[in-house]
Chains A and B, each alone.
Chain A
Amino acid sequence: MCIKSCTVIILSCDRTGLLLSCLHALEQAISSARQLVPSFEIVVVDNAGRFPIAQPELPGSPKLIRVDTHHSFAAANNLAAKGHPAESYLLLNNDVFLHPGALTPLFDLLTKEPRTGIVGTRLHYPDGSVQHAGVGFGEIPDGGGSHIGIGNAPATVAQTVQHPQAVTGACMLIRDQTWQQLEGLSLRYDFGSEDVDFCLRAGQHGWRIACCPGPSSLHLEASTPGRIERDVPSRIQFTSLWKEKITHDIPS
């Protein structure tokens, strides 16, 4: 089933340089994917940054939503998705610089696998090591997930499409049907773990999660001010909700 439209949602808070780089890379990736998806809309949410983003400086003519009070990651994404409905949503961090060919396999997979509701992609650090190849469970004592392959050489992780229990919200393509069924991201989290929560809930509704092996895109990771501190309560919240309800992955 062909995906006709996609809303790309990017949250930004005082990191205009990152945002501009992200948008430039996104433009190229969209250009490659247009043969599969005719309609893209880019929505930038200025999440109460101290220095409001100026629309004219943004490449690709995105829609700009300015919120003057801080919104959680979930609330900001839900707001953007509600106002800009499409057949799919791409949640994209402003510090992810997509490979020009990164989006095509994601949409290709969503088209070919009707029961796949969420598709992530391979991400890497500036030194070329793996940042993300899906989220795995079982190794972390607190019950949370961890990035599969993190810090390893790219050749050490699977080179085929994988079906982990979750993928990162740093770059997450979501089928609208899945998004609507789950009513978007959970507002229980301030910043962090809402993406994994979303995937696990999708799995409970019978949706498959996939992670494409490449082309890999660059992710600087944790570029939002206060990201690390705000992650702690979210992770505690995640653990309290999920620790005993997640199966542990078969070690690869």
Chain B
Amino acid sequence: MIYYSLPGHGMYGGIKTGAQFVYHLQNAGIPCVLVTPEGLAPQWFDISIPVISEETCFPSLSAADTMIFSLPFDYERLKALPSKLIYHCQGTHPAMIPICQDPDILLFSAWPQAENEMRHISGRETYDTGIAVSDVFFYDGRVKSGKKVAVMPRRGAEWIQACQQAQPEKIYLTIDGAHERETAAIMKESSIYLATSVDEGFGLPALEAMAAGCAVLSVPVRGGMAFLHHGKNASIVPPEQLATEFSQLNSTTAQRYRDYGRVTASQYRMAAQYQKICHLLESRAGEWLCA
């Protein structure tokens, strides 16, 4: 049996990415369940997968089982379990170094940047699982308001405030704490998304915003550079320049970002990631997942 251990069920991109991975494995016919500390299910996005608690899971584990984890800080305690381990790297952090150096652990990556770093550390093969944007985000043709701007003040609130001061006539809609469906609705009616999380290691909201047809203005990130292309589908500027860039963004450029952004996001559909995981199952990694 395959288990995917998550540190919780809260609103973090890594939680959704882990759950989506379980969902795809299940659809590929691989028995797989999500494990959270208390057995609570993430309910801020929609996905049909079983969830169990660590208390239920851990005592029943054997060497025939495989445990996938993504939080590097979980390494020590999961290493003590009898199951095989797969590290699913979603964002890079120094804590992942001993994991990558552990020859008993199979290495998966969600991002090219993570893949490169893991290969550099480990000197061995890693497997790309990709990421996906939930289907609910993809733009459905509804009327957008040129005044509405989607923001996530949880990360980089000061840069959003600077934009608000520069463009007070805009309507700023917060996606923090909202269910995925509400977030998608906000993004679909907004024209712009301000990605203000400095040095973001993951950056899924910017990709979701692209899917929803927003022009993305972002501060530099680590995790999202595979899909953020400055001047093509987004503007990437230092945080202190974000307000100026925002003020100077004309409608032609914004529309170009939207169009290219939607094309970019279309490569990250759930169906595309499922195909990627089917290929993964045919590789050597599949031996760990199909046993």
Contacts and interface: CB of A to CB of B under 8 A. Distances in A.
Interface in B117-163: 134-136
Contacts of A206: 1, 31-33
Interface stretch (A14-22, A57-65, A242-250): A242-250
Which of under 10, 10 to 19, 20 to 34, or 35 or more describes the interface residues of A?
A: 20 to 34
Q: Which DSSP category, helix, strand, loop or mixed, fits chain A's interface?
A: loop
Contacts of A113: 29
Interface in B36-93: 39-43, 45-52, 56
Contacts of B43: 244, 246-248
Interface string B201-217: 00000000000000000
A241 to B, nearest CB: 11
B40 A245 contact: yes
B265 interface: no
Nearest to B34: A247
A207 B136 CA distance: 27
Contacts of A250: 46-48, 134-136
B31 A247 contact: no
Interface string B4-30: 000000000000000100000011010
Given A204-B52, A206-B1, A208-B26, A248 B31 contact: no
Chain A CB count within 10 A is highest, among B42, B46, B49, B181, for B46
Given A203-B33, A250-B135, A245 B51 contact: yes
A200 interface: yes
Nearest to A166: B48
A249 B27 CA distance: 14
A165 interface: yes
Given A115-B29, A208-B26, A244 B46 contact: no
A141 interface: no
Interface string A134-161: 0001100000000000000000000000
A248 B48 CA distance: 6
Nearest to A201: B50
A246 B52 contact: no
Nearest to B42: A247
B42 A163 contact: no
A248 B51 contact: no
A246 B56 CA distance: 16
Chain A CB count within 10 A is highest, among B1, B33, B51, for B51
Interface of B: 1, 19, 26-27, 29, 31-34, 39-43, 45-52, 56, 134-136, 181
14 contacts: A115-B29, A137-B48, A203-B33, A204-B56, A206-B33, A208-B31, A245-B39, A245-B41, A247-B43, A247-B51, A248-B45, A248-B48, A250-B136, A251-B46
Interface of A: 113, 115, 137-138, 163-165, 200, 203-204, 206-208, 244-251
